[in-house]
Structure formats: structure tokens, C-alpha cells
């Protein structure tokens, strides 16, 4: 599990159809087999070479994330798993990406920056205003919500320590929706289906 609070930024060294190599300052503090969130996607360290981390990823991960858009030199957000002894400052992030989305617009207001993102209507029930969403691994609060888009307001600290500072309209990002909302939706769906089945059998 992760928190959505980015530790540092890494830089892509190389990427192929199944392997990603990232240079990061945490390279000497991790071991083979460790899980690392790269732009919010939970990847397993398969090899370490000084400050370079090697990850193997599956075709499913390639399909669901922005990894196919990576190139040598691209910055990525890096977070190691949370420890149970720590405070949960962001929100519970699993590292399992639901979909990719686009940055629609960026507007600076005072010291804050409002960014609008697209999202699929299939996930509309998992977003609520003032709720949490992980955008490329960053724990953000939904400021405004409209059909097919939502906004978040970022402070200068977030822009400086994450890749958000380099986003532009059209930039693709990873989205992970709140796991608590997913479980609630699943339970409601299961309960509704059970009730419909009960009524059908009573006919």
C-alpha cells in the first residue's frame, strides 16, 4: 500500500515492451523484490545497479498505464510502500491503475494551480467532491466535478516535488480511484443483485 505522497522524482533510463529502468536517489535503499510506485503504478524491483532500478511489467500494466509513453529522460514520481507505524497523510493507494486520462487545462490562481482532468464515465460513481483520487501517484483532492472531468487544486510544494510541475494540456496521467469507494460500490451492487434475485424467485 502507498499514501500518494511522492518521495522523489526519478528519471527513465530506458523502457522496452516488458522492462523499465529508472534512475532514482532511493536506488541504494531498496532491495530486489521490493514494490515501488512509479507514477502510481505498483512495480516490482527485479534488479538494482547502483542508483538504477529495473522493473519488469506485464502486458496488462502496459495496457492500463502511461508506460508506453515513457522515453529516456522522462521524469516519473517515485514512492516506496508505507510503513504501518507511520501516519497516513495522503490516502490509501494500492498502486493498481484504473485508467489513463488527459490534463485538460491548467489555471494559476494566486499561489495555487487548478488543473482539470478527463475521466471515463464508467468511473463517475467513484469520484466525489472533496474526495481523494491518485493522479500519477499523487494523492489529490477533487475540487470540482463535472461530467467527464474533474479538477484538483495543487499547492507550489506539490508542483515542485512531483512531475505535476511539468504537466501541460494534453499530458497523459495515471488515475487510481479510491479503494474504499470501490468496495462500497461492489457491496451495493451485490446487495441490489441479491434483492432483484429474491424478488424474481418470489414471483
Confidence of residue 190 (pLDDT cuts 50, 70, 90): confident
Average pLDDT over residues 142-164: 97
Task: Write out the H or E segment, with its range, that includes residue 189.
Answer: helix 179-202
Q: How many CB atoms lie within 10 A of CB 6?
A: 24
Distances (CA, A) of 18 to 41, 68, 70, 187: 14, 10, 12, 35
CATH number attached to the domain at 99-185: 2.40.30.20
Query: Which pLDDT belongs to residue 23?
Result: 96
CA distance 45 to 34: 5
CA distance 178 to 142: 11
The distance of Cα 125 from the centroid of its chain, to the nearest Å, equals: 18
Average pLDDT over residues 165-181: 95
Confidence of residue 96 (pLDDT cuts 50, 70, 90): very high
pTM for the full predicted model = 0.89
Quick one: fold of 8-79?
A: Elongation Factor Tu (Ef-tu); domain 3 (2.40.30)
Beta bridge partners of 144: 151
Average pLDDT over residues 23-27: 90
Tell me which residue of 82, 100, 88, 92 sits closest to 36, measured CA to CA: 82
3-state secondary structure 20-77: EEEECCCHHHCCCCCEEEECCEEEEEEEEECCEEEEECCHHHHHHCCHHHCCCCCEEE
Q: Could you tell me which residue, 84 or 48, shows the higher pLDDT?
A: 48
Query: Which pLDDT belongs to residue 200?
Result: 60
Numbered ranges of CATH 2.40.30.20 in the chain: 8-79, 99-185
Confidence of residue 202 (pLDDT cuts 50, 70, 90): low
Amino acid at each position: 500500500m502507498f499514501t500518494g505522497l511522492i518521495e522523489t522524482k526519478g528519471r527513465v533510463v530506458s523502457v522496452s515492451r516488458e522492462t523499465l529502468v529508472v534512475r532514482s536517489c532511493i536506488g541504494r535503499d531498496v532491495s530486489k523484490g521490493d514494490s515501488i510506485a512509479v507514477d502510481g503504478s505498483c512495480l516490482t524491483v527485479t534488479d538494482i545497479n547502483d542508483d538504477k532500478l529495473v522493473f519488469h511489467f506485464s502486458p496488462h500494466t502496459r495496457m492500463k498505464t502511461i508506460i508506453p509513453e515513457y522515453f529516456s529522460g522522462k521524469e516519473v514520481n517515485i514512492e516506496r510502500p508505507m510503513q504501518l507505524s507511520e501516519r497516513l497523510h495522503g490516502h490509501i493507494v494500492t498502486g493498481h491503475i484504473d485508467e489513463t486520462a488527459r490534463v485538460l487545462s491548467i489555471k494559476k490562481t494566486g499561489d495555487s494551480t487548478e488543473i482539470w482532468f478527463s475521466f471515463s464515465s464508467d468511473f463517475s460513481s467513484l469520484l466525489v467532491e472533496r474526495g481523494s483520487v491518485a493522479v500519477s501517484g499523487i494523492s489529490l483532492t477533487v475540487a470540482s466535478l463535472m461530467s467527464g472531468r474533474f479538477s484538483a487544486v495543487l499547492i507550489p510544494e506539490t508542483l515542485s516535488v512531483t512531475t505535476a510541475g511539468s504537466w501541460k494540456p494534453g499530458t497523459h496521467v495515471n488515475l487510481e480511484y479510491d479503494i474504499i469507494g470501490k468496495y462500497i460500490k461492489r457491496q451495493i451492487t451485490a446487495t441490489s443483485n441479491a434483492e432483484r434475485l429474491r424478488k424474481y424467485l418470489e414471483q
